[in-house]
Amino acid sequence: MIFLSPAKINLTLFITGKDKKDGYHYIDSIIDPVSLYDLLEINVSDDKEIVLKDKLNKLKIPTTKNLIYKAAKLLQNKYNVKKGAIIEFYKYIPDGSGLGGGSSNAATTLKALNKLWNLKLSLKELEKIAIQIGSDVPFFIRCKYGRITKKGEKISILKRKKINWYIIIIPKLCKIKTSLAYKWYDKDFVLTEKTTCNKINKKKYLHNDLQESVLKRNKILNRIRDKLSTITNNENNISLSGSGSAIFLLCGAKSNAKRLFRKVKRIFKNCYIFMVHSI
């Protein structure tokens, strides 16, 4: 069976604290799932082997490091599943872009194998498993517009007023490790007290606490953002998604998104450029 694995956009990302025990950050983020997908084709096998095939040869990592494989093995071991799976995946969401591709793949794998292995686990049970793989993974279990807090494990589904349209720009060969982006943030800002997004810049719809530290260290992304600001004459509708390297432009309507998409494609070379919408 074929399963769609969507990307996400962080409309807001506030860092609200840090756990001194494990070093992970507490966050408060509004996330919108969007219409950019990886594809996973998953079939059950009679033996216990998990076979993973990168059909587009995009990820240069060992199979055991892939979050799809980790999710499948975690589920298999936890519930002593006697069957295995052959998983072929087609990677269209650029790696290291802050769009949650790997986390989405892991969550999609959990949901797919829950169905194919007939485990009958609830979404809540799947979320508890997902947090063991990564902080972004639980969000993709329900994959609905919402707010995530704590270390990513607390998810509140929100009502979206309207569908958002986005232009996403990602420089090719530009990847940013999430852990590195947070280290940069820690170097630049000292968290002296716990803060919440209610105290910070409530009038601004888009906000990303990691953006300043990332753009300061990446001249390419900084130039892209400045150029977009010139094109749109409005820097308030431009933001970094997650830890980057994706920069997105929030558009009010499909017609405006189409016009800007054509313009951006002419201007930005050596970049992945997508026009997507909320799902």
CA 180 to mean position of chain CA atoms: 16
Query: What is the predicted pLDDT for the residue at 196?
Result: 45
Average predicted confidence (pLDDT) for the chain: 93
Phi, psi (5° rounding) for residue 156? -120, 120
Query: What is the predicted pLDDT for the residue at 194?
Result: 46
Give the whole-angstrom CA distance, residue 256 versus residue 258: 5
* Whether the Cβ atoms of residue 231 and residue 263 lie closer than 8 Å to each other: yes
- Tell me which architecture the domain covering 2-157 has in CATH: 2-Layer Sandwich (3.30)
- Give the β-pairing of 84-90 and 2-18: unpaired
Give bridge partners of residue 15 from the DSSP assignment: 27
Q: Both tokens of residue 101?
A: 């591709």
Superfamily of domain 165-277: GHMP kinase, C-terminal domain (3.30.70.890)
- 183-241 confidence digits (pLDDT tens): 999 999 875 444 444 444 444 579 999 999 999 999 999 999 999 999 988 778 999 99
Band of pLDDT at residue 109, cut at 50, 70 and 90:
very high
**Is residue 136 annotated as a catalytic residue, yes or no?**
yes
* Given the residues 28, 38, 136, 209, the one annotated as active site: 136
* Given the residues 8, 70, 91, 111, the one annotated as active site: 8
Q: Is the pTM higher than 0.95?
A: no
SS3 178: helix
- 115-166 confidence digits (pLDDT tens): 999 999 999 999 999 999 999 999 999 999 999 999 989 999 999 889 999 9
Give residue 48's identity as a one-letter amino acid code. K
Give the whole-angstrom CA distance, residue 184 versus residue 188: 6
Query: What is the predicted pLDDT for the residue at 159?
Result: 93
SS3 135: coil
Q: Where do the domains of the chain lie? A: 2-157, 165-277
